[in-house]
Amino acid sequence: MLGPINYLTRHFINVLAGSTAFIVSVVNISGIAMILSLPLAMGAYYLSNKITFAVQNANQRKKIGLSKSEYQLIDAQLKQAKAHTQSLTQQIVRVRSIRSFKQINEMSKLSKRIINIVQTNPQKFYAVEDFFYAHLPSAVQLSDKYTLLTKEQVTGNEIHLALEDTRKTLKDLHVTMEEDLKNALASDIENLKIELDFAKMSNEKRKERLKVGGE
């Protein structure tokens, strides 16, 4: 859940630590022992990375008000969701109908939007837990099942019914994931409404003051 700035900062510190260790070891170690300089620099880089990463995570947890266990849980779910979304995206090129292509493509886009929202504001995870635990995994499983059935090109009433049932369930999941997105955005929309109401009230008061002043 750390952003690109944290990534760049961390690796700048790591390179600085590794370079410093290498220079110090070269200056202070002579002869055949100098072969240890590179391993020491690599060790310093690795250790610096572990420490800096831990500090950045701790600062991020404190900033967003999550406990260590909550932060780790959400981070793990985000990683899993990204893997699921990648699998869902891969199904797009395997489907054999325009309708299914559009549907799975839209579900993939919805998934990415929800993941990005939670990545930016991890507290929103609790508003869309079902998306991570049930809806997205089900979408991946069903799309995989659907593409497998269509790939076999087996005719018969049973296969036809299975395909229709899978299409219907995927359509229902699409609607459900749209609701997940709305839930993820709900607090932002509510805050926007409050800000708009406040702005309108402030504008009305300003007009009243101007009116009184003009009289």
pLDDT one-digit tens code per residue, 26-61 = 566 555 455 666 677 777 777 777 777 677 666 667
Domain end: 32, 64, 96, which one? Answer: 64
| 45 and 71 together in one domain | no
Overall pTM surpassing 0.75 (yes/no): no
If you average pLDDT over residues 86-107, what whole number do you get? 85
Q: Which domain holds residue 137?
A: 67-214
Report residue 90 as tokens: 């891969």
| 8 and 44 together in one domain | yes
- List alpha helices for the chain, DSSP H: 4-28, 37-64, 68-92, 98-120, 129-130, 136-152, 157-214
| 186 and 127 together in one domain | yes
Domain end: 40, 64, 88, which one? Answer: 64
| 11 and 59 together in one domain | yes
Longest Cα–Cα distance in the chain: 93
Q: What percent of the chain has pLDDT over 70?
A: 64
| 104 and 141 together in one domain | yes
Closest CA to 10 of 62, 65, 52: 52
| 184 and 88 together in one domain | yes
Indicate whether 121 pLDDT > 80: yes
What does the pLDDT read at residue 112? Answer: 94
What does the pLDDT read at residue 158? Answer: 75
Rounded to the nearest 10 degrees, the angle between the axes of helix 136-152 and helix 98-120 is: 160
pLDDT one-digit tens code per residue, 145-171 = 888 877 766 666 777 788 888 888 989
If you average pLDDT over residues 92-100, what whole number do you get? 79
Closest CA to 131 of 80, 180, 85: 180
Indicate whether 128 pLDDT > 70: yes
| 89 and 17 together in one domain | no
| 31 and 82 together in one domain | no
| 156 and 181 together in one domain | yes
| 24 and 72 together in one domain | no
Q: What is the residue whose two structure tokens read 């009433």? A: 157
DSSP secondary structure string for all residues of 123-166? GGGGGSHHIIIIIHHHHHHHHHHHHHHHHHT--SHHHHHHHHHH
If you average pLDDT over residues 168-178, what whole number do you get? 92
Domain end: 64, 79, 101, which one? Answer: 64
What does the pLDDT read at residue 133? Answer: 95
